Structures are given as C-alpha cells and as structure tokens.
Amino acid sequence: MSRRVDPALRRHQVIEAAFRLLVMEGIGSVSLRKVADESGMNVGSVRHYFGSHEELLIAVAGEAGDRMGARLAKHPASALRGLRGTAAVAGLQELVEDVLPLDADRREEAIVVTELIMASRTMPVFAATVGQMGEDLVTVLEEALAALGSQAPRTHAQQIAAFIAGLTVDMITPHGTAASMDARALLGSFLTGLLAAGR
C-alpha cells in the first residue's frame, strides 16, 4: 500500500528547495530540473505544483515575504505608542532589524528578496509581487512612525525603507563591508536623526 502524499507538504518542499538554490547560486541558476534534484523529486512532480519557472520563483518570494511578515507581526505599532527619546529609537530599531540580514536566516531571506527585486527590472512577471512586498514594508513602518508621533510618517517610512534597501545590499554583497554591529550602529544613528527631525 503506497503512502499518501500530502500535497501542501510536497509543494512546500519544492519551494524550500528553490529557496536554497536561489541563495546558493542566484536566480539565473534556478531551473525546474535543479529544483527537482534538490527536492528529491522528478521534474514532472515539480511541474505538478508549479507550471512554470516564474510561478515557482513568485512562490519563493512569497515564502521570504511571509517569514519577514511573521517577524514584523511581533512588533505591533501599539507597543510603540507614547515612547520618546532613546526608548522610541530602540523600539523602532528592534522592528527594523527584523528585516535586516543580521543572522543566517535573515540573510538568506534578504538574498532571495534582493535577487527577485533585481530580476523584476527586466522580468515584469515579478513586478507585482516585488511592488507589494515593498508597499507592505512601508505600511508597517508608517504605522510604527505614526504611533511614535511622527509628523510625516509616510515620508519617513519611505526613507527608512530606502535605507534598509541600501544597507541590505551592502551586507549581502561585496559592495559594502558593514559587519552586523556596524550595521546596527548605522541604523541607530539614522533612526535617531529621523525621529528627532520628525517631531
């Protein structure tokens, strides 16, 4: 008697395999055949869950976004209400650090998201997913800044999102040399200045 296959579990195994390959080899190297090999399945099984290479990569982007979203959900804006001075900076920094590549898991997620952001420049199929991820981050930051009393929460949220993007590229590529502690110091200095100017 054959074992019953859990479709949701198998689909997740395919996504995880593609996730690992994208981190190790970059988006250009992720093929359905490689993903099949990495997941221990045949190509036909992978195609059963994902009809195309692009569909699979969008699912991988969703996985990275879900992981980041789950961490951000642990920082409700209401917890920041009423904070001032160094407490406000610390509260906001704790939230922002959850999307920076400061440990192995967050680094892998940042690599996946950055690869897909860059791919969206020439592959419109990724544009909607990448755009939504960016908007979701800005919304979370905007809500946090509003709770902290920022007079321009949307503008400041966009500034923080841009800072996160630049710092992330520096941290996951040879472009920058920021170690984790340096990144935290840079972030703290940036947020201190932003919050001081926004009140």
CB atoms within 10 A of CB 4: 6
| pLDDT attached to residue 181 | 64
Residue 121 exposure: Cα atoms within 13 Å on the Cβ side: 5
Residue, of 93 and 53, whose pLDDT is higher: 93
Predicted confidence band of residue 3 (pLDDT cuts 50, 70, 90): low
Predicted confidence band of residue 78 (pLDDT cuts 50, 70, 90): very high
- Residue 199, pLDDT > 70, answer no
Q: Alpha-carbon distance 63 to 120, whole Å?
A: 17
| pLDDT attached to residue 6 | 83
Question: Lowest-pLDDT range, 21-30, 103-112, 171-180?
Answer: 171-180
| pLDDT attached to residue 53 | 87
Region 75-99 average pLDDT: 95
Region 79-88 average pLDDT: 95
Q: Which two tokens stand for residue 191?
A: 């947020």
| pLDDT attached to residue 28 | 86
Domains delineated in the chain: 1-51 (1.10.10.60), 58-197 (1.10.357.10)
Region 153-166 average pLDDT: 96
Q: Alpha-carbon distance 150 to 118, whole Å?
A: 31
Q: Alpha-carbon distance 77 to 140, whole Å?
A: 8
Residue pLDDT, tens place only, 160-170 = 999 999 999 99
Region 108-115 average pLDDT: 92
Burial of 140 (0-12, 13-18, 19+ CB in 10 A): buried
Predicted confidence band of residue 125 (pLDDT cuts 50, 70, 90): confident
| pLDDT attached to residue 98 | 93
Q: What is the DSSP letter of 143?
A: H
Residue 111 exposure: Cα atoms within 13 Å on the Cβ side: 20
Q: Distance between terminal CA atoms of the chain?
A: 68
Q: Alpha-carbon distance 110 to 102, whole Å?
A: 10
Question: Lowest-pLDDT range, 70-74, 112-116, 180-184?
Answer: 180-184
Spell out the residues 6+ positions from residue 60 whose beta carbon is closer than 8 angstroms to its own. Answer: 15, 18, 19, 22, 112, 116
| pLDDT attached to residue 1 | 42
- Burial pattern 90-124, b for ≥16 Cβ within 10 A else e, equals ebbbebbbbbbbbeeebbbbbbbbbbbbebbeeee
- Residue 198, pLDDT > 80, answer no
Q: Which two tokens stand for residue 13?
A: 């195994």
Average pLDDT of the chain is 91
